[in-house]
Each structure stands twice: as C-alpha cells, then as structure tokens.
Structure 1
Amino acid sequence: MRRRIDFMLRLLFLLCTSIGIVALAVLIVSIVVDGFRYIRPELFLNYPSRRAAQAGMKSAIVGSIYMLLMMAPISFVFGVGAAIYLEEYAKKNRATRFIQLNISTLAGVPSIVYGILGLTIFVRFFALERSLISGTLTMTLLVLPVIIVSAQEAIKAVPKIRRDASFALGADKWQTVSRAVLPSAMPGILTGVILAMSRAIGETAPLVMIGALTYISFLPSSLKDSFSVMPIQIFNWISRPQEEFHSLAAAGIMVLLALLLLMNFSAILLRNKFQKHI
C-alpha cells in the first residue's frame, strides 16, 4: 500500500513539474518566433519611435544598466551590513525578533507597495522628482529585505567551530566576522544579491508608480534626469495596437531574458569560485 501511494505521489509531482515546464517552453517558443526577426542592431542602437521599423530600446537598455550599477553597491553595503549586525552583534531579544519578523514580512510585500513608498518619500518628500536616482532608491528598498534574509541564512550556515577557532587564536569580534565568517558566507551572500538584482531588473510596477517614462529619446547624463528601463519599454510596445510593436515587445523580452540568464549564470560562477577557496 505504501509503495502504491509513493508511486502515485511521484507521478503527481512529475505531472505538476511537466505542466510547468511545458507551459514555460511554449511561452518561450512563442516569444522567440514572434521576436527573432527584430533582433538586429537597430534594436540596440535606436531610440524608441512611433514607427516600428525605426524603433529601438537603446535608452531603456542603458537606463536599466545605470540603475543596476547604482543599486548593486548600495544594496550590498546596507543589506549585508544589516545581516551582519542582526546575526553577529544584535542581542537576541524581543526587539530583534520584532525587527526580524518585519524584514521577513517585507520580503514578501507586493512590489507596487514599494512603488507607492518611493513615490511618497523620494519623489515628493525629498523632491527628487521622477528621476533616475528616485528609481534606483525605490528599487533598492525593494531588494533590501531579500538581500538581508539571504545574507542572514548564509551567515547562519557558517559552522560555529570557525568562530571558536578564530577566537581561540586571539581574534576580536570584527576580525572573526571579516576574516572567518564572511569569506565562508560569501558564496551564499553573492548568490542572494545577484538573484535580488535579477528580480529588480524585471520589475515594472514600482517604476510605473514613480513615473519612469515610456518614451525617451536621450540617455540620462545625471542622477536627476528622466529615465526608462526595459520592462517599461516592453509594456509600452505590448500595449500598442500595431502587430509590429508586439513583435518588437517579444524581441525586447528576449533581450531581458538574456540579461536575466546572464546574471543567474554569474551567480552560479561566483558561488562556485568562492566555494573553491573555502
């Protein structure tokens, strides 16, 4: 009886997995078929246009890269710093548990809430307007809880014996954290940071809330300039009635997927590289 139940459950799990894989494969094939003919140099070199034959997503690609380059160091410093404090320095009391509960809750909050928060704080309160810096800070708020939680889990996974050995050799608290704990936790930390960046680069709702432009024919030259990103440009194209823009949107999705796959592949390479040195 148990073997029969086990066999039935394995079939059920295999069926569920197959449905997800098949649906994803059909979606990817459909996107590739529609957008492959628009994967050309003009897509990367031209600015958005009302004519599909001349339209590109240069400003959106550059805006996404700018935002990613600014988000990464800010998110890493504040996210990993908060994780180190909560795991290594903060006392385990009610206040710490309350903070931890709120961070875990924020990691699952819908992204549109962060868009409203960014609109209220950065765009209106600090008067940063609908600029690149507003978008960067809003997306940093979005990924911070995810980075903190993943960094905490990576730090927790470091064996206690490493800390004890460091203290036994006469190291103080910070020397132990920086030279024994962090090098061992770095593969998990970097993986969490890059995956959080991957999530942010594909988000649309928060940037719509703070006013990222759907049509922009210049590159941002300062942090206060207006900007666009790839998900916003794709959303603009897919909402147009012309079939050519739908194919352009499919090509944009292919570019965005390639960037996400590259980031995930980088996370795997960095994790494997650091694990070899542990």
Structure 2
Amino acid sequence: MISKNIASFIGLRFLGLCTIVVLAFILLVLIDIIWKGAGTLSWDFIFTVPRKGMTEGGIYPALVGTTMVTVITAKFSIPVGVATAVYLNEYASDNMFTKILRASIRNLAGVPSIIYGLFGVALFVEALRLGNSVVSSGLTLGLMTLPYIITATEEALRSVPHSHREGALALGATKWEAIKTIILPSAIAGITTGAILGVSRAAGETAPILFTGVTFYLRFPPDTLDSEFMALPYHLYILSTQHHAIEQVRPLAYGTALVLILLIVVLNIIAFIIRNKYAKELVK
C-alpha cells in the first residue's frame, strides 16, 4: 500500500506536470504569434485604415471600435455586477429563491456567446430600437460578462472575515457604511480580477457583435455610439478565413492578433495596478 508521503509526492508532481504542459502550449501560441506578427507592428499599422481590399494599411478603425465597445461593456457590467453581488451576499436572505438565482447566474456563464448575440438583437437592436451600433454591441457583451463579475465579486466578498462586519457595526456604522468603507475595499482585489477577466474575454468575442453592430469595412472609426463599427476580433476572423487573398494578408492577421493580445495584457496590467494600490492602502 502506498504511504501518504509517496502519494502526496506523486500528486504534487502530477499537478506540476499539468501546469507545465498548459504553460508550454500557451507559450508556443504566444511565440508563434509574436514571431509572425512582430514584423507587422508599426505606427502606420496601428494608426492607418485598411487599403486595397485590406491587403495594405492598418487596423485603426478596428482598434478604436474595439476600445469603444470594451469601455461600454465595462461601464455597464461592472457597476451592475458588483451591485448584484453585494445584494446577494450582504442583503438577500438565504432562501430557495436566492439559491435558484445564484444557480441561474452560474448557468448563464456557460451559455454560448452566440446566444447572447441573438438575445442582443432581440432586445437592444429591435425592442429598444438602438439599431446595429456600438452601444448595442457593448450592452450585449455586458450581459455576457455579468455572470463572471457577479460570481467573482461574491467570492471576494465571502473571503472578507465576518469580524470585519461585526466590528464596523459595533462601532456604530450602518450596514451600508460597513460595506462601503470596510468590506468592498477589503475585497477589491478579487472584484477587480473578476471584472478584468470578464471584460478581457468580452473584448475578444466575435459572435455577439457579429449580430449587433460590427461591419466588414469602414474608412474611418465610428464617431458616434449609434453607428456601426469595425472590431479587432471580427477583423482577424475576416483576414484569417474569409479574405480573397488569405496568404497575402496572413502577416496582417498575425499583427492584428498580437495587438489584440497586447490590449488584453494592458487590461490585466491595469487590474494589477489597482490591486496593488488598494493592498497598500489596506496595509496603511
């Protein structure tokens, strides 16, 4: 019979091996994209529009469109998601309705993104008459991101010890004052991580925006929220699979993929800075 020490040793080594395998695949993908896309990156590639059937030029309209949609997604999903999680964790009674609500939220996280796209068409494009636009796509992606933010925020709030709440209430603070000044700052690291991961995923989605506002080509970036737009994920999809000269535009596709990855990295750096800022304030 294998002893506990040997079983623990084998288990740890197996977990380490799994981690190495996953990191190796991620590293291979990143190396391939950087190796084939770095040569395309330039100020001209980033700040010019596609030309000659997208065989030349840059990705400026797509970059601006992706940024606008991502900002709308964050402004909608983060406040609503955090507020919902605060209510569920701090105010809602622990009854059957709340359990069903939590289960529904977790199930929504597994719904295919194309379903959110169809729902966005029915709600934002048709019912609310927002049309195929930046705002319709941003709100659709916001709905898709909500389950991740709510779940991550709830877990972060649960990690705050109950003694923090009891201490604040004992000092005469109201429940909302305790939440605002003690609980939320203590949970900000987990909240920020969940929010940024959700928004980062939304920034790379194609199916929801395909139905709600993205277009194949624009000469200029969108100047209003009610207009159609280009986006990096859809632009990459076109260059990689639908273009009439796929081999010719392949370097542009790799450059677009690299810019999209860099955009997501920037979002995660922002999350890291915010976490560090609040961690230092809590230490003080």
Letter in 2 for 1:189: I
2:145: which partner in 1?
143
Give CA-to-partner distance per residue, 1:70-125, whole Å, 9 cap, x none: 22222121111111111111111111111111011112222111111111111122
Q: What TM-score comes out, normalization by structure 1 length?
A: 0.93
What is the aligned counterpart of 1:259 among 244, 260, 263?
Answer: 263
Aligned to 1:121, what secondary structure does the other structure show?
A: helix
Query: How many pairs align?
Result: 278
2:135: which partner in 1?
133
Give CA-to-partner distance per residue, 1:105-156, whole Å, 9 cap, x none: 1122221111111111111222211111100110000111111111111111
Q: Residue 42 of structure 1 contacts residue 54 of structure 1 at CA under 8 Å; is this kept in 2?
A: no
2:36: which partner in 1?
34
Aligned to 2:50, what secondary structure does the other structure show?
A: coil
1:225: which partner in 2?
227
Distance across 1 between alignment mates of 2:201 and 2:280: 27
Distance across 2 between alignment mates of 1:59 and 1:125: 28
Distance across 1 between alignment mates of 2:215 and 2:262: 23
Distance across 1 between alignment mates of 2:160 and 2:128: 40
1:121: which partner in 2?
123
**Cα pair distance change 1:54/1:152, threshold 3 Å:** same
Q: CA RMSD in A?
A: 1.8
Aligned to 2:51, what secondary structure does the other structure show?
A: coil
1:68: which partner in 2?
70
Q: Residue 52 of structure 1 contacts residue 244 of structure 1 at CA under 8 Å; is this kept in 2?
A: no
Q: Residue 133 of structure 2 contacts residue 229 of structure 2 at CA under 8 Å; is this kept in 1?
A: yes
**Cα pair distance change 1:259/1:84, threshold 3 Å:** same
**Cα pair distance change 1:181/1:19, threshold 3 Å:** closer
What is the aligned counterpart of 1:192 among 194, 216, 219?
Answer: 194
Q: What TM-score comes out, normalization by structure 2 length?
A: 0.91
1:272: which partner in 2?
276
Give CA-to-partner distance per residue, 1:48-72, whole Å, 9 cap, x none: 2335553211011001111122222
Letter in 2 for 1:45: F
Distance across 1 between alignment mates of 2:85 and 2:6: 46
1:86-97 aligned at under 5 Å gives the runs 86-97=88-99
Q: Residue 46 of structure 1 contacts residue 54 of structure 1 at CA under 8 Å; is this kept in 2?
A: no
Distance across 1 between alignment mates of 2:10 and 2:190: 35
Distance across 1 between alignment mates of 2:236 and 2:261: 12
Distance across 1 between alignment mates of 2:183 and 2:264: 29
Aligned to 1:272, what secondary structure does the other structure show?
A: helix
Q: Residue 114 of structure 1 contacts residue 142 of structure 1 at CA under 8 Å; is this kept in 2?
A: yes
